[in-house]
Structure 1
Amino acid sequence: MAERRADLRDDLLSELIRGRYTGVFSERELLSTILLLIIAGHKTVANMVTSGTALLLRHPEQLALLRADSGLIPAAIEEILRYEGSAAWASLRIAAQDMELGGVPIAKGSFVHLSLSSAGHDPDVYDDPERFDITRSPSRHLSFGHGAHFCVGAPLARLQGELAFGTLLRRLPGFELAVPPDELAWVADSSLSRGLEALPLRLHGRLSR
C-alpha cells in the first residue's frame, strides 16, 4: 500500500487509497478492506479454479462430460463449490443463547465456527454426497453463505469461474496431474480459505487464444 501511495494509478487499490484521503476510510478500515479483497476477492477464486481442476482430473468421466458440453460449466462450478469449496469455514459467530447442537452443549457467548465443507457433504441434504457429479440438480450449497451473510461477490466469482474453466478447456486439449493425487499439498492459511499449495500439471499441447 505504501508503494501504491507513492504511485497512484487507475486501479482498485489506488481508488481505495484515494478514498482514505477523502475521508471515506480510516487507516484501519482501509487495511481491513484490502485484506478482505485479497482473501475473499482473489484467493477464494484462485482456490476454486485449482481445486476444481484437480477434482476434474481425479474424475476423468466428469472432465469428458464437460469437454463434450461446455454448457455444463455453470453447473460444474456449483458442484465444485459444494464438493471442494474454497471457503472451508463460515465467518465466526457468537452464540446468542445457551443451546445444544448434535448433542454438544454451547454456552451463550461462546465462539461458534460453522464448517461449510461439512455442510456440502451432508447426507441429509444430498443424495450420495461423496459422488462428484457436474450434472447434479439442484446443486444447492453454502459456499457463498446464506441470508444476510451471503457473499456480495458471488456473481463475480461465478463469472470468473466460467471464464477460467471455459478458457482452460478451450486452450488445453489435453492435460494431466504431474504428480500423484495424494502428493497434492493442501493449505489452510486463514480461518476461512482452503486450497492447494500448488497444482503441477503436464500439458499435451496448447491452442492459441
Structure 2
Amino acid sequence: MAESPPITSPFVEAAPAARHAAFAELAAAGPVRRVMLFTGVPVWLITGYAEAREALAHPDIIKGKGGDGPHRDVVPAELAAAMDHHLLGADPPDHTRLRRLVSAAFTRRRIEGLEPGIRLIVDGLLDDVSAAGERGAPVDLLAAFGYPLPLTVLGDLLGVPVDRRRDFQEWTSVAINGSVHPAETFVAAATALIDYVRELLAQKRADPSDDLISGLVAVREDGDRLSEDELTSMVFLLLVAGYETTAHLIGGGMQALLAHPDQLDLVRADPDRLPAVIEELLRFNGPAQVATPYRTAAPVRIGDVTIPAGEVVLPALLSADRDPRQFPDPERLDVTRQPASHLAFGHGIHHCLGAPLARLEARIALGALIDRFPKMRLAVPPEELTLQASMLINGLTTLPVVVT
C-alpha cells in the first residue's frame, strides 16, 4: 500500500499555530489516513473526533502487549519488561486485572486528600515567581512553576525523597520524548529511572509509609498482587504520564488565556467557572498530540475506511478535539462553551487514570496564577513562543511572562 512521503509535521512544528494548522491540513485529507511517520513507521493516523473516539473504544484495536515505545529494537529485554507491564500497554483480561489492583491504591480519596498540600506547594512556588519577577523581570513560568508543581506533587504522592526529584525530572523528560532523542540517550535515562524505582520499591517494602508506592506494594485482592515488573512499570507510567502532561496543561492553558484576554477576563470575573474552563483548555490545546500507539487485531472499519489487521493506529487527540463536525467554531477559545466530551485524556478502557489529579492540579494552579498576578502578560511576542519536538507531547519549550 502506497504512502505519502514521511511526515515530520505536525510533530516537529515549532510554532503553536503551525502545529494546529498542520493537523488541520492532515484532517482535511480525510479523518482516517495511512501515513509514514518521520520515525519510519507507517501508521493509520485518525484525525476526526468521531473516528478517534470509535477507534479508542474498539475491541479489535488493541495494545498487543505494549512494546511500541521508542527504540524498542535496542532496549534490553529486562529493561523493556520493567517499563511495559502497565495499564497503558495491556489488553483485557490483563488490563482489567491491573486496573483493579492499581485503582485499589490510586483512589479518589487519596487524590482528594492531596488538595491542601497542592495549595501549599502552589503558594510557595508563586512566592518564588513573585520574587523572581520583581520590577518587571521576565520569568519562565514553565521552569519556575509548570514543571516544579507536578514534580513535587508526584514526589509527595509516590514518596520520592526531595533530593532525588531533580533526577526524576531529567529522566522522565527524556523517557516521554524518547523518539526525538538518540537511542543511547533514551536507554541511559530509562535505565537510571527504573534502577531508582527498584531502590524505592525496596525501601517501601522495608519501611512502608502513607504514599502510593507503599500502597501499590501492599495492594492485593483474592491473593493476587502486582509483580515486580508490574510495579516498576506502573511507577514508570505514573511519572512519565503524570509529569510532563500536567506541566503542559498548566503552561499551555495559561498561554491560551494570555493570548485571549477577553476570555481571561471572564475567568477573573467568575472563578467558579474554573472546572469548565479547564475542560475547554483541554479541548482547545491539550497536552497530548496523539494517544500511544494501538494495533488492529482484525480488519476494522472506521468511518469509511477499512484498516487491515496488524496495522498501527494512532488517534490524533489534538486534531480530534478541533473537529468542526463535533465542536462549533473549534479554533475559538470559548470558556463559556458547554463542557464537551473531549479526548484529551483518551477514551475507553485506557482513559487516563490520573485525569482527576491533573484536573485538580490545573484548577488550583490556574486559579492561583490568575488571582495572584492580575496583570500577568507574555514577556515576548506570541509568535516567538516555540513548541518542543515530540511524538506525544504538545508543550512549549519556555513560557516567559511578566507578572508585575
| TM-score (structure 2 length as normaliser) | 0.45
Q: Partners of 1:66 and 1:202 in 2: how far apart?
A: 19
Partner of 2:353: 152
Residue 194 of structure 2: aligned partner: none
- Percent identity of equivalent pairs: 44
Name the counterpart of 2:252.
Answer: 51
Instruction: Write out per-residue CA displacement over residues 72-115 of structure 1, whole angstroms, 9 at most, x where no aligned residue.
Output: 21111001100111121112111233356577663211011110
Shift of 1:28: 3.3
Q: Within the alignment, does 1:96 sit opposite 2:297 as a pair? A: yes
Write the distance in 1 (CA, Å) between the matches of 2:317 and 2:286. Answer: 8
Query: 1-side partners of 2:199 and 2:403: how far apart?
Result: 37
Residue 198 in structure 1 maps to residue 378 in structure 2: no
Equivalent in 173, 177, 191 of residue 378 of structure 2? 177
* Contact 2:255–2:399 under 8 Å retained in 1: yes
Q: Who is 2:233 aligned against?
A: 32
The equivalent of 1:207 in structure 2 is none
In structure 2, do the counterparts of structure 1 residues 2 and 94 end up closer, same or farther at CA, with 3 Å as the change threshold? closer
In structure 2, the CA distance between the partners of 1:9 and 1:187, relative to structure 1 (3 Å rule), is: farther
What is the CA-CA distance between 1:13 and the residue it aligns to?
4.9
User: What number of residue pairs does the alignment pair up?
Assistant: 200
Q: Considering Cα pairs closer than 8 Å and 6+ residues apart, tell me whether 1 or 2 has the greater RCO.
A: 2
Aligned in 2, Cα 1:16/1:193: closer, same or farther, shift over 3 Å?
farther
Q: How far did 1:188 drift?
A: 4.3
Deviations 1:135-185 (A, max 9, x none): 111422011111222212222221111111111112112111111212212
Structure-2 residue corresponding to 1:115: 316
TM-score (norm 1): 0.83
Amino acid across the alignment from 1:42? Y
Q: Check whether the contact 1:144–1:154 (CA below 8 A) recurs between aligned residues.
A: yes
Aligned-pair Cα RMSD in Å? 2.5
Looking at structure 1, the residues matched to 203 and 359 of structure 2 have their Cα atoms a distance apart, in angstroms, of: 34
TM-aligned CA distance change 1:182 to 1:105, over 3 Å? farther
The runs of 5 or more residues in structure 1 that have no matched partner are: 205-209
Any stretches of 5+ residues in structure 2 without a counterpart? 1-196
**Amino acid across the alignment from 1:194:** N
SS in 2 for 1:112: strand
Question: Is the CA contact 2:279–2:339 (under 8 Å) kept in the aligned structure 1?
Answer: no
CA offset at residue 14 of structure 1? 6.1
Post-superposition CA distance 1:39-69 (Å, at most 9, x none)? 2222211110000000001111001111111
Whether the aligned pair in 1 keeps the contact of 2:385 and 2:399 (CA below 8 Å) is yes
Q: Is the 8 A contact 1:47 1:194 kept in 2?
A: yes
Rg comparison, structure with higher value: 2
2:138 alignment partner in structure 1:
none
Distance 1:24 1:57, change over 3 A: same
Picking from 326, 343, 355, the partner of 1:125 is: 326
Worse-matched range after superposition: 121-130 or 144-153: 144-153
| Aligned AA (1:200) | P
1:140 aligns with one of 341, 349, 352: 341
Instruction: Work out which of the residue numbers 159, 165, 182 in structure 1 matches 2:366.
Output: 165
SS in 2 for 1:137: coil
Write the mapping of 1:3-14 to structure 2, written as runs, cut at 5 A: 4=200, 10=209, 11-13=211-213
Distance in 2, matches of 1:30 and 1:40, equals 15
The 1:114–1:13 alpha-carbon spacing in structure 2 relative to 1, beyond 3 Å, is same
CA contact (8 A) 2:282 2:342 kept: yes
SS of match in other structure, 1:135: coil
Letter in 1 for 2:324: P
Contact 1:39-1:193 within 8 A present in 2 as well: no
